Each structure stands twice: as C-alpha cells, then as structure tokens.
Amino acid sequence: MMNKIEHIGIAVKDLQMASEIYSKLLGVSSYKKEEVKSEQVITEFFKIGDSKIELLASLNQGSAIAKFIEKRGEGIHHIAFHVEDIYAEMQRLTNEGFILLNDKPKVGADNKLICFMHPKSANGVLVELCQDI
Ligand code: CMX
C-alpha cells in the first residue's frame, strides 16, 4: 500500500549552491548528505514537517541525473511514494501493467529499499517506491 509522498527529488547542477538556496527557501539546513555510488549521485536531504526534498547532483557524465539535466535542465526529477511492502507493491503495479525499471528493490539513499517506474508509465513522471529498511 502506498501511504504518502516520501520525498520529491530535484536534479541540480551544483549541490553546494542548490543546498544554500534550499536552506534559505525552507528555513532549515539539510539533515543529511549522502553519496549513492550505485546511482552515481550525491544527494542532500531537507525535511519540513513530514515532507522531504532530495537534491540530486551527478557524480559523473553518464549518470541518470547528468542525462536528465542535459536533456531537460535542472528541476523536479522524480516523486517518491512511501510503501509498507515494496515487494507487494511492485507485484501489484506489474499486474496493473506499469513498467518497473528494477526486477528487485535496490538499496537507495536515506536507508530505503527503492524501485523506479518508467516515466512513460505515469504520464511523464518518474515514480520511485521507497520502503524503510
Ligand atoms: N522524468 C520524466 N521524464 C524523464 C525523466 C524523468 N526523471 N528522465 C528521462 N525522462 C524521459 C526522457 O526525456 C525521454 O523522453 P522522450 O522519449 O520524450 O525524449 C523518456 O523519458 C525516455 O528516456 P530514455 O532516453 O528512454 O531513457 P533515459 O536513458 O533518459 O533514462 C530513465 C530514463 C527514467 C529510464 C532513467 O533515468 C532511469 O533508469 N532512472 C531511474 C534511476 C534514477 O533516476 N536514478 C537517479 C536517482 C537516484 C536517487 O534518487 O537516489
């Protein structure tokens, strides 16, 4: 079952500059900065109330974030939904005909098991499922 938006991911070119902007915007400092080597990104997380923003900068040229920024510029990259049971949710979405980008959940940033769904499946929005580890 999906029960809330876990975070919104924003692709940025320069993490330090973006972090300063989002600190001012949200009125809080980031609570975590984390490299996710498997995704070739460095991330920084902000939290206000129950809501989280993840800034994502590319660690190298060929990464998903680098390709996204090259093609579409900086901006909202994905919406992540929190799920209680990622395996059950992946099965449910596959049965509904959605195209998942992973066969099995992967370990993502901020202590989560994650799975992405192709943006063509959801009207041009890259969707991520997240389960707490
Ligand atoms: N949101 C919406 N549309 C997107 C998109 C995004 N984030 N990324 C790519 N697209 C669009 C492309 O512009 C393209 O559109 P057109 O066909 O209209 O040109 C379409 O999706 C398909 O693109 P593609 O060329 O087939 O595929 P890409 O090589 O651009 O890869 C995607 C797209 C989503 C499959 C790939 O980025 C992916 O596997 N993403 C999941 C992993 C990821 O994003 N990791 C980084 C974040 C990690 C983290 O959160 O920690």
**CA distance linking residue 10 with residue 31, whole number of Å:** 16
- Give the residues surrounding ligand 1 with Cβ less than 6 Å away: 9, 36, 39, 41, 43, 56, 64-65, 67-68, 71-72, 77-78, 101, 108-109, 116, 118-119, 124, 126
Question: What is the per-residue pLDDT for 1?
Answer: 87
Question: Could you tell me the pTM of the whole model?
Answer: 0.96
pLDDT (0 to 100) of residue 93: 97
Question: In sequence order, which residues have a C-beta less than 8 Å from that of residue 44 and are 6 or more positions away?
Answer: 15, 18, 19, 22, 30, 32, 33, 34, 54, 55
* pLDDT for 77: 98
Q: Which H or E run includes 80?
A: strand 75-83
Q: Chunked in runs of 10, what are the mean pLDDT values of the chain (133 residues)?
A: 95 98 98 94 97 97 96 98 97 97 94 96 97 94
